[in-house]
Amino acid sequence: MKTRVKKLSYVLVAVLLLSVALGGPTLGPFGVDVVSAATGQATPSPTTSTAKASTGSKTPVSFETASEIARLIAFGSYGGDVKLLQEVLNNHGYQLKVDGIFGKKTEAAVKDFQGKNGLKADGIVGPKTIAKLNIGNVAKVTEPSPSTTPIPTPAPADGKVSVKLGKVEYAAHGTKCFTVAAVAMVDDKIVDAILDDYQVGAADSFVGVPNSDSDFGKNFAEGQVLLSKRANAATYSANMAQKAGSTVPVDKSLDAIQAYVTGKTVAELEKILAGTPADKMVDAVSGATLVDTYGYVSAIVEAAKAAKETTRVDAETAKSIELGKVEYAAHGTKCFTIAITAVSGDKIVGAILDDYQVGAADSFVGVPNSDSDFGKNFAEGQVLLSKRANAATYSANMAQKAGSTVPVDKSLDAIQAYVTGKTVAELEKILAGTPADKMVDAVSGATLVDTYGYVSAIVEAAKAVAPVKADAVTSASVVTDEVSLLKAMSKDGTWIVILVNDFTTDKELVMDGEFINKEKVDRKLALYSQDENKNVLDRYTLAAPKLTVKSPSTRIQNGTFKGDLYVAAPNVQLRGAKIEGNVYFVNEEVKATFTMDEASSVSGVMEIKSE
């Protein structure tokens, strides 16, 4: 198995009150916001040209030292547990300022300590690092493991289920772009996902994200724009077809990956990832041809881990949750907004908002691949940043400039909470009846002047919901062990069963159930791997005493089965497959419909024989 390297921008937000240089938008007057609980920064009015002077004094944030570390902490984290970490590191000979803020010096000390103690020097403080530091009470800190059986979620007393949304930026596909992955979950299961890549391309060929023709666009070289691959799927796919012979549009490949993860838990996906070489993952997802399928599935897993509860709904409502996404000019001209909305029927059950802006690399953490080819699209010392991933530093900047008291992520969270539970029609009625500059007065408790724009973005994302039907883009069952093999072949499996290596079992196997692929009855036992152009790379051997095929229209393809094959369904085919054993048919009818191509062979007899 090849070594797999995850590229993950792992940034945990913090509240820092320190001076940073970001040429952000100017600030308008404070007012009562439309969103309850968001009492944070005033965001700029597009017509305001001067910043509001701050008359209040800035009080530094202080944290009481915690007695334990009960979470994963890393660069950007803050709080009493970080203060505890700094104190313990100083006891080990480091000289850190004990301020509760996980900055670059703390990260360097953690990496140094990890390296000296035989740990992976990633700067992330988890159970193993805590144990080496001899910090007590680490039982509450958990790291996901593919081999760990998850504890079932107990049934809630209210009879409802938890709806959770999560989003991450990820380096899923090469170094020239970054990926945004978002998921909707019901309890522990993924019920929908969205993937999109953002890359820089020619302005005369692609449509740029919002504000590409304004201040945000000035961050790029003449004739270049930041683009969404989904929004430019036709042009981007045609370009890839010409350059690399790609046959499947990029949005369809991404759709296939989204459909594949739907219905699975994080634990199930982690097990699949752990048992599948990165370059073979593309074979597990029917309809996808992207060689970096492994990276995209990994991105979705990380988004699921980052998911937070947005609401609780009844089980019937949970069955129809779907995601929509748009890019939007919600807040001034120096950034663009990504809005992701979860909808069940006509009701919004959750939303995610984030702004993306260019800022100083020495103050902000850039999106993934900022230190690689993607980062070369920006001026020296500049990076594209997520405001959520940099909430601490960005909010500190706003606190210094305008006396803002609530971090930007908390204000965005409040808008998300406001729209949850409302229908699109209700929100449109509110927007239609409220002037943009008065929306701030419609809901008590917040101070975001551009709330109108953010609510509008969420509404547009809700309208953009486009579900991927399971019968249109089907998924696959990947065999990693005997349990997954038996389930994959059963009625509860999927239409295609894929091996990623040779496999031997002493169990008698049965392929059962009728499956639909692209609107026709179809099932496949894939004993091979292939590249993005469907060229066979490796052929595998499945060995078992007996394989009975009860699924109609089953293909056994491009590999070897060692054992006796019993055909009990019509239209069974061998395509490039070898049977090292006998082939028995239960009757004349199934024998008459059995076919094999010239590349297939059977070493034993082929005759009618009841089981």
Structure confidence at residue 611 (pLDDT): 61
Q: Is 16 helix (H, G, I), strand (E, B) or coil?
A: coil
With residue 578 as reference, give the H or E element that holds it. Answer: strand 578-580
Number of Cα atoms under 13 Å in the Cβ half of residue 57? 3
Structure confidence at residue 158 (pLDDT): 64
Tens-place pLDDT, residues 57-94: 333 445 678 888 877 788 877 778 888 998 998 888 88
% residues pLDDT > 70 (the chain):
81
* Cβ partners under 8 Å of residue 584, min gap 6: 564, 565, 566, 567, 606, 607, 608, 609, 611
- Give the DSSP per-residue string, 550-564: -STTEEEESSEEEEE
Question: What is the residue extent of each domain of the chain?
Answer: 80-133, 161-463, 476-608
Structure confidence at residue 286 (pLDDT): 66
Structure confidence at residue 283 (pLDDT): 76
Give the closest residue to 515 by CA, choosing from 550, 481, 484. 550
Structure confidence at residue 531 (pLDDT): 66
Structure tokens at 187: 């309890």
| CA 346/CA 367 separation, integer angstroms | 33
- Secondary-structure class of domain 80-133 per CATH: mainly alpha
Tens-place pLDDT, residues 494-544: 888 888 789 999 999 999 988 877 667 889 999 988 765 678 888 999 999
In sequence order, which ranges of 361-511 are alpha helices (DSSP H)? 391-402, 408-419, 424-432, 451-463, 482-489
% residues pLDDT > 90 (the chain):
48
| CA 232/CA 173 separation, integer angstroms | 17
Residue ranges in the chain whose pLDDT is less than 70: 1-63, 136-158, 286-288, 440-448, 466-477, 518-519, 531-533, 611
- How far apart are the two ends of the chain, measured CA to CA in Å? 39
Number of Cα atoms under 13 Å in the Cβ half of residue 12? 17
Tens-place pLDDT, residues 92-105: 888 999 888 888 89
Structure confidence at residue 402 (pLDDT): 73
